Amino acid sequence: MKIAIINGPNLNLLGTREPEIYGSKSFQEYFSELQFKYTDVELSHYQSNVEGELINKLQELGFSYDGIILNAAAYTHTSVGIGDAVKAIETPVVEVHISNTFSREEVRHQSYISPNAVGVIMGFGLRSYDLALQYFM
C-alpha cells in the first residue's frame, strides 16, 4: 500500500517552531518512527512551503496512491486551489493538524480542505498523523 504524507508551509521547522504548540520533535524523526511501525506500508513524505508545489504533488500522486495524509498548514485556511486539487484527485485525502485549530484563533477555524477530505484528525500532536494512517489500514 502506498501512502504519502504531504506537509505544507513551516512544517519543515517542526521541533524548533513554537514547541509549546507543535512539540519539540522534528518531522524527520517522527517520520522514521512511523516507517518503523508500519513496515508493510510504502510511506513517503513531501514538504513544501510553496502553494503550487503542494498542488503539483497532489496531482502527481493523486491518481495512483492509496491514500494521502495532508497537513496543508496555513494554506488550509486560505487556499481554494489546494481545496480544488483535493477534490480533483481520486486518492482519498485525510486532513491532519497537529494542533486543535478550533481552540486557536478564529482565522484557523475555516478549512478549504475539509469539504473534500474523507475525514479530519487534529489536536493529538504528531500522533494525529499516526491516527490518520490507521484509517487506511
Residues in contact with ligand DQA by the rule CB under 6 A: 10, 71, 73-74, 76, 97-99, 101, 108
Largest Cα span, the chain: 39
Q: What's the DSSP call for residue 132?
A: H
Instruction: Supply the minimum distance, in Å, between the C-beta of residue 17 and ligand DQA.
Output: 8
Instruction: Supply the minimum distance, in Å, between the C-beta of residue 121 and ligand DQA.
Output: 10
Q: What's the DSSP call for residue 34?
A: H
Instruction: Measure Cα distances from 73 to 39, 41, 63, 110, 118 in Å.
Output: 27, 24, 23, 12, 17
Ligand-binding annotation for 84, yes or no, is yes
Known catalytic residue at 22: yes
Comparison of 79 and 91: residue with beta carbon closer to ligand DQA: 79
Grid cell, residue 122, equals 487534529
* C-alpha 49: how far from chain center: 13
Comparison of 4 and 73: residue with beta carbon closer to ligand DQA: 73
Ligand-binding annotation for 109, yes or no, is no
Ligand-binding annotation for 40, yes or no, is no
Known catalytic residue at 109: no
Active-site positions read 22, 97
Task: Pick out the residues of the known binding site.
Answer: 71, 77, 84, 98-99, 108
